[in-house]
A and B are shown apart, each in its own frame.
Chain A
Amino acid sequence: MDLQSDMNKVRLEFPILERILPNGKPLIYLDNAATSQKPISVINAITDYYTNYNSNVHRAVHTLAGEATEAFELARKSVANWFGLPSGGMVLFTSGTTDALNLCALGWGKHNLKPGDAIVLTEMEHHSNIVPWQMLAKEYDLELRWVNVDSETYQLDMDDYKSKIIGAKLACIIHTSNVLGTRNPVERLVEIAHEVGAKVVLDCAQAAAHEKLDMKSLNADFLAVTSHKMCGPTGIGALLIASGIFEQMQPVQGGGDMITEVFKEYSIYQENEHKFEAGTPRIAEAIGWSAAISWMEGIDLIAAHKHTLSIARNASDGLKEISGIKVYGDHSNEDISGVVSFLHESLHAEDIAHMLDSMGIAVRTGHHCAQPLMRRLGISATNRASFYFYNTMDESKAFVNAVKTIVERFG
């Protein structure tokens, strides 16, 4: 069986991909970098929880609470295993990558960085890995250093990184760009940071969808991940912390589940993951994420990504042949996700997106929460088609033909 046939089989497990839109067009979903679709097993796992054992976790002694607690904590183990959490590390559940990065800034940064300390960011960062650090820098008088992106190669300027990291305490790096698709040489970036004693937080929101991340080999101090871009539900993600980090962190939120005892004068916090998970946790979402991981374990992610890359490359090559279109990102590179950002010289990105939508094709438009990168590229927005392993070569071709039709008719 060839790769496309394998992927067609995988596609059948995503009911939404059979959707016919109100205008009668079959859906071609190319907005996977924003959120992926969910296989039926994930949908069923969430339905099963709400149908059969919905209960709050941890404290009650009844049967449902026991079942829910077991499933919830099993989800934590499944996230830890999937991401290769190193010994002594922890999985702190959050609402997503943004929440994880904010927890990193407020739970760790606030208590371990002092005035004058430097944080290294790259121009490729998503706003979620910029704004929390800006807020912290403003409040605690920290220095933010920016690593340049080469607007021709779409790669980080490594010399600039090597120079900026000297004397810094933390590097905040996007693993894989949500705009360019570029997979940064994160292993080397972490190594360089550690050589000068800086800790590293990796924003893996995009990366986790395309490759099996292993925190042990990445050797980062923090990994921020999310469920919904890797076939799991929205509303849950995690900050994965390396051994020794837990002791350096302080909780950001107070309330139920994060304490062992509360007195009028003070409270004693839990000394486990719950210390950072105040309030009723995201139970259904954790169970759904765990189901997504089980499902992902059943597919060959390397082959799946090879397929994604081939259809993304087809789109990129096809778009480049259309008059007035510029593609942002180097799709000849092997280290790239399924993202294809592009812009027409005169047609507004949002006009193109509306027209594609009327043809049944879902893409994203805008600055993609990466305005410093947009400025580096000299633009304010792009159209972004983002492919995933369940997309087909036929969809990729239909997308290119649709853009061609739009440009011929309106450009």
Chain B
Amino acid sequence: MGRWPEKLQEVIDDFSEALDQMERYEMLFELAEDIDELDHSEWTNKTRVVGCQSEAHIDIAFGGDGFHLRGSSDSQIIQGLMAVTAIALEGLTPEEVTGFSPNFASEMKVLETLTPNRANGFLNMFLRIQDEAREQLG
């Protein structure tokens, strides 16, 4: 058993077992399909993730069931990374989200193959989620 939440660990294990990078991209494309998609009509400056070369937008909420992310991007790789983030944090409390490490992306062996801009874009997205979680804590 890994140190990550069960569902995320399953994703990490799947990625670790991938034959090559192309298979990892294929998995990201599949995950991108499953995201709770933020419709393009809902894209605003507020939803935009800065630092991405591609258009990337997220909307997060902490309801009765904890953290939930809706997101979309014109890049399927980025949308796939959003989907993994959603799996990682789904249902967590704001406190748990602020303490969550973004290192799961490295363990999936996808981050190092991205351009620095894209890797930074992912980290920007993650930090922004944690900022919003901190705001929830007050």
Is the beta-carbon distance between A366 and B21 smaller than 8 angstroms? Answer: no
Most buried by A among B26, B73, B113: B113
Please report the C-alpha to C-alpha distance between residue A355 and residue B73 in the assembled complex, in whole angstroms.
Answer: 17
Please report the C-alpha to C-alpha distance between residue A25 and residue B118 in the assembled complex, in whole angstroms.
Answer: 22
- Taking a contact as CB atoms closer than 8 A, the residue among A23, A348, A410 that contacts B74 in the complex is A348
Min Cβ gap A409→B in Å is 7
Q: Does A321 contact B (CB under 8 A)?
A: no
CB-based nearest B residue for A347: B76
Q: Does A81 contact B (CB under 8 A)?
A: no
Min Cβ gap A379→B in Å is 12
Min Cβ gap B49→A in Å is 14
Which residues of the partner chain A approach B53 to less than 8 Å between Cβ atoms? 350, 365-366, 381
CB-based nearest B residue for A409: B26
Is the beta-carbon distance between A350 and B26 smaller than 8 angstroms? Answer: no
Q: Does A359 contact B (CB under 8 A)?
A: yes
Given contact pairs A358-B113, A410-B29, A350 touches B20 in the complex (Cβ within 8 A): no
- Taking a contact as CB atoms closer than 8 A, the residue among B73, B74, B113 that contacts A354 in the complex is B113
Is the beta-carbon distance between B76 and A410 smaller than 8 angstroms? Answer: yes
Which residues of the partner chain A approach B54 to less than 8 Å between Cβ atoms? 348, 350
Is the beta-carbon distance between B75 and A350 smaller than 8 angstroms? Answer: yes
Q: Does A351 contact B (CB under 8 A)?
A: yes
Is the beta-carbon distance between B76 and A351 smaller than 8 angstroms? Answer: yes
Which residues of the partner chain A approach B104 to less than 8 Å between Cβ atoms? none
Given contact pairs A355-B25, A357-B113, A348 touches B20 in the complex (Cβ within 8 A): no
Which residues of the partner chain B approach A348 to less than 8 Å between Cβ atoms? 54, 73-78
Min Cβ gap B80→A in Å is 10
Is the beta-carbon distance between A350 and B118 smaller than 8 angstroms? Answer: yes
User: What 0/1 readout, one digit per residue, does chain A (227-262) give for beta carbons within 8 Å of chain B?
Assistant: 000000000000000000000000000000000000
Is the beta-carbon distance between A358 and B21 smaller than 8 angstroms? Answer: yes
Min Cβ gap A366→B in Å is 7
User: What 0/1 readout, one digit per residue, does chain B (95-126) give for beta carbons within 8 Å of chain A?
Assistant: 00000000000000000011100100000000
Is the beta-carbon distance between A358 and B22 smaller than 8 angstroms? Answer: yes
Min Cβ gap A358→B in Å is 4
Which residues of the partner chain A approach B76 to less than 8 Å between Cβ atoms? 347-348, 351, 410
Please report the C-alpha to C-alpha distance between residue A194 and residue B75 in the assembled complex, in whole angstroms.
Answer: 47
Is the beta-carbon distance between B25 and A358 smaller than 8 angstroms? Answer: yes
* Chain B positions 31-47 with a Cβ under 8 Å from a chain A Cβ: none
Which residues of the partner chain B approach A351 to less than 8 Å between Cβ atoms? 25, 75-77
User: What 0/1 readout, one digit per residue, does chain A (168-212) give for beta carbons within 8 Å of chain B?
Assistant: 000000000000000000000000000000000000000000000
Which residues of the partner chain B approach A355 to less than 8 Å between Cβ atoms? 22, 25
Which residues of the partner chain A approach B78 to less than 8 Å between Cβ atoms? 348
Which residues of the partner chain B approach A357 to less than 8 Å between Cβ atoms? 113
Min Cβ gap A316→B in Å is 25
Which residues of the partner chain B approach A410 to less than 8 Å between Cβ atoms? 25-26, 29, 76
User: What 0/1 readout, one digit per residue, does chain A (362-406) give for beta carbons within 8 Å of chain B?
Assistant: 000110000000000000010000000000000000000000000
Which residues of the partner chain B approach A347 to less than 8 Å between Cβ atoms? 76
Please report the C-alpha to C-alpha distance between residue A347 and residue B20 in the assembled complex, in whole angstroms.
Answer: 20
Min Cβ gap B15→A in Å is 14
Is the beta-carbon distance between A354 and B20 smaller than 8 angstroms? Answer: no
- Taking a contact as CB atoms closer than 8 A, the residue among B29, B113, B115 that contacts A350 in the complex is B115
Is the beta-carbon distance between B20 and A23 smaller than 8 angstroms? Answer: yes
* Chain A positions 320-366 with a Cβ under 8 Å from a chain B Cβ: 347-348, 350-351, 354-355, 357-359, 365-366
Min Cβ gap B30→A in Å is 10
CB-based nearest B residue for A357: B113
Given contact pairs A350-B115, A350-B118, A358-B113, A23 touches B75 in the complex (Cβ within 8 A): no
Chain A interface residues (CB < 8 Å from chain B): 23, 347-348, 350-351, 354-355, 357-359, 365-366, 381, 409-410
Chain B interface residues (CB < 8 Å from chain A): 20-22, 25-26, 29, 53-54, 73-78, 113-115, 118
Chosen A-B contacts, 28 in total, with CB atoms closer than 8 Å, are A23-B20, A348-B54, A348-B73, A348-B74, A348-B75, A348-B77, A348-B78, A350-B53, A350-B54, A350-B75, A350-B77, A350-B115, A350-B118, A351-B75, A351-B76, A351-B77, A354-B77, A354-B113, A354-B118, A355-B22, A355-B25, A357-B113, A358-B21, A358-B25, A366-B53, A409-B26, A410-B25, A410-B76
Q: Which 8 A-B pairs have the closest CB atoms?
A: A358-B21, A348-B75, A351-B77, A351-B75, A348-B74, A348-B54, A358-B22, A351-B76
Apart from A350-B53, A350-B115, what 16 extra A-B contacts exist at CB < 8 Å?
A23-B21, A348-B73, A348-B74, A350-B54, A350-B75, A350-B77, A350-B118, A351-B75, A351-B77, A354-B114, A354-B118, A355-B25, A358-B20, A359-B22, A365-B53, A410-B26
